[in-house]
Amino acid sequence: MKAILLHKFGQPEELQFSEIEKPVINNDQVLIKVIAAGINPVDAKIRSGLHRSSKSLQLPAILGKDVSGIIEQVGSNASEFKIGDEIFGIVNGSYAAYTTASPETIVKKPAHISFYEAAAIPTAGLTAYQAVHEQLKIKSGQKVLIQSAAGGVGHLTVQFAKFAGAYVYGTASAKNAAFLSELGVDEIINYKEQQFEEIATELDAVMDTMGGEILYRAIKIVKPGGKVVCLPSSTKDDPIALRMAEERNIELIWPMMQPSKEQLQLFATWLEKEKLRVKVEKVFSLKDIVSAHKTIESRSVNGKIVVKVS
C-alpha cells in the first residue's frame, strides 16, 4: 500500500512517499481504508523531533492522527462496526492507504458530511472542546478571548464557547471577519490594526495560540482567578508568563489532548444537525505531503488542511 514514511526527524522533506505492506488487525481492531487524513501542527512538531512523543517514536514511522475512511475489516471483538461503515476519529498513522484503529477512538461519519470535513475535526475538535469544558470551564456569561479565532482550533473553540453561553472576543485578519461573525463572535479584533487589550478587558479566560509577547499581553487583561490555555507546547513553563500569572492569581494551562469517543460522538451529532461547522481551507494529495507540512508550519492557515489519500 502507499504510505508516507518518516525515516529521520527533520524538515518536511524527510517525509517520503513509499510502498509498504498493508497492516494486519488483531481481534480488538478494525481495518480502515483511509479516504482523508487531517493535518495538525502537532504532526509537524513530531516530524521535526521537537514534540514530547518524538522521543518514544520508533522510526521509520507513519505520522497522522486524524482519519476518515471506510471500514474494510472487523476484528471478532469489534462488532460495533461492520464492513462498509464510514467513520472518522483518532488513529496512529493516517498518512497511508490503510490504518488500524480501536473502536474506542472512532465513530460513524454523518452521511452528508464529506470525508474531508470529517478528517479535519478530531484533534482540533477535541483540543477545542476540552479547552472550553475541562480546562477553562467556561460558564454562561463569561468573557473569553480566542486568539487566531479563524484557525483550525480557533474556529471550533469559538463555536464551543458560544454553545456554552460565553461572550467571545476573537482576533483575526479583516478577511476573516465575516466568517467569524457567522460563527457568532461578539467582537472581532483585527490584530493587524487593533490592540486586543484595548478592546477585550476583564476577561474570565483566554485561548492563547501564540505565546511570547502575545501571551504576556493577554495575561494582563485576565481577571484574578481566571484561566489561560496555552496551545504552543514550546512555551510551556515560560518563566515570565508564570511569574505574571502568579502575581495576578491566574492559572496557566498547557493542555494535552485526550482521545474521547463520547466527545467524537457529540461532534458527529452536531455535524449531523448542522449545529457545528468545520472549515476545510485546502486539500492536498498524499504525494504533496511535504507542501502540506510547509503550509501548516507557515501559521497562515485559516480553518483546517486535509490530505486526500484515496
Q: What per-residue confidence (pLDDT) applies to 85? A: 98
Query: Which residues, in sequence order, are CB contacts of 269 under 8 Å at separation 6+?
Result: none
* Predicted local confidence at residue 51, as pLDDT: 86
pLDDT of residue 236: 87
Report residue 198 as a C-alpha cell: 484595548
Query: Looking at residue 299, what is its pLDDT?
Result: 78
* pLDDT of 25: 96
Q: Which fold has domain 2-121+278-308?
A: Quinone Oxidoreductase; Chain A, domain 1 (3.90.180)
Domain segments of the chain: what residues?
2-121+278-308, 124-253
Q: What's the CA gap between 112 and 268, in Å, rounded?
A: 11
CATH architecture of residue range(s) 124-253: 3-Layer(aba) Sandwich (3.40)
In this prediction the pTM is 0.96
**CA distances, 139 to each of 252, 256, 287 (Å):** 18, 22, 44
pLDDT value at residue 172 = 95
Candidates 139, 81, 70, 148; CA nearest to 156 is 148
Instruction: Divide the 310 residues of the chain into consecutive groups of 10 and give the mean pLDDT of each group.
Output: 97 96 96 98 93 89 98 95 98 98 97 97 98 98 97 97 98 94 97 94 96 95 97 88 96 95 98 96 96 91 93
